[in-house]
Protein backbone atom coordinates (compact mmCIF):
# COMPACT_ATOMS: atom_id res chain seq x y z
CA UNK A 1 0.00 0.00 0.00
CA UNK A 2 1.52 3.36 -0.99
CA UNK A 3 2.51 5.71 1.81
CA UNK A 4 -0.06 8.28 0.58
CA UNK A 5 -2.83 5.76 1.34
CA UNK A 6 -1.49 5.21 4.86
CA UNK A 7 -1.43 8.97 5.42
CA UNK A 8 -5.10 9.19 4.42
CA UNK A 9 -6.07 6.11 6.45
CA UNK A 10 -4.45 7.33 9.68
CA UNK A 11 -4.90 11.07 9.18
CA UNK A 12 -1.17 11.65 9.78
CA UNK A 13 1.72 12.54 7.50
CA UNK A 14 5.29 11.29 7.53
CA UNK A 15 6.44 14.90 7.25
CA UNK A 16 5.69 17.54 9.83
CA UNK A 17 3.50 19.70 7.58
CA UNK A 18 3.17 18.18 4.09
CA UNK A 19 1.77 14.94 2.70
CA UNK A 20 4.06 12.64 0.76
CA UNK A 21 2.26 13.67 -2.45
CA UNK A 22 2.77 17.38 -1.70
CA UNK A 23 6.47 16.77 -1.06
CA UNK A 24 6.80 14.77 -4.28
CA UNK A 25 5.11 17.55 -6.26
CA UNK A 26 7.67 20.06 -4.95
CA UNK A 27 10.61 17.95 -6.13
CA UNK A 28 12.57 18.19 -9.34
CA UNK A 29 13.22 14.90 -11.13
CA UNK A 30 16.72 14.25 -12.39
CA UNK A 31 16.97 14.02 -16.14
CA UNK A 32 17.68 10.46 -17.23
CA UNK A 33 20.82 10.05 -19.28
CA UNK A 34 18.82 8.19 -21.94
CA UNK A 35 15.78 6.01 -22.43
CA UNK A 36 18.15 3.09 -22.01
CA UNK A 37 18.72 4.15 -18.40
CA UNK A 38 15.00 4.00 -17.58
CA UNK A 39 14.71 0.60 -19.23
CA UNK A 40 17.46 -0.73 -16.96
CA UNK A 41 15.77 0.74 -13.89
CA UNK A 42 12.38 -0.78 -14.68
CA UNK A 43 13.68 -4.18 -15.74
CA UNK A 44 13.11 -7.25 -13.58
CA UNK A 45 16.51 -8.60 -14.65
CA UNK A 46 20.05 -7.32 -14.12
CA UNK A 47 22.21 -7.93 -17.17
CA UNK A 48 25.00 -5.43 -16.56
CA UNK A 49 28.59 -6.39 -15.77
CA UNK A 50 29.28 -6.59 -12.05
CA UNK A 51 33.03 -6.00 -12.27
CA UNK A 52 34.09 -2.93 -14.22
CA UNK A 53 37.46 -1.72 -15.37
CA UNK A 54 38.94 0.97 -13.08
CA UNK A 55 37.42 4.37 -13.77
CA UNK A 56 34.33 3.07 -15.61
CA UNK A 57 31.82 3.29 -12.73
CA UNK A 58 29.86 6.55 -12.38
CA UNK A 59 27.35 7.70 -9.79
CA UNK A 60 23.78 7.50 -11.09
CA UNK A 61 21.83 10.70 -11.74
CA UNK A 62 20.78 12.24 -8.44
CA UNK A 63 23.14 10.24 -6.25
CA UNK A 64 24.70 12.43 -3.57
CA UNK A 65 23.22 15.60 -5.03
CA UNK A 66 22.58 18.72 -3.00
CA UNK A 67 21.58 18.07 0.61
CA UNK A 68 22.05 14.31 0.31
CA UNK A 69 24.60 11.72 1.27
CA UNK A 70 26.93 11.45 4.22
CA UNK A 71 27.80 14.53 6.21
pLDDT by residue (tens digit) across 10-35? 999 999 999 999 998 998 776 665 66
Mean pLDDT of 54-60: 82
Q: Flag whether pLDDT at 38 surpasses 80.
A: no
Average pLDDT, the chain: 80
CA gap 57, 64 in Å, rounded = 15
**Is the separation of the CB atoms in 10 and 16 below 8 Å?**
no
pTM for the model:
0.46
DSSP string, 6-34: HHHHHT--SSSSS-HHHHHHH--PPPPS-
Amino acid sequence: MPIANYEKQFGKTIHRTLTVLERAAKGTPYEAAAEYTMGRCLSEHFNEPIILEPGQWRLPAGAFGENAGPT
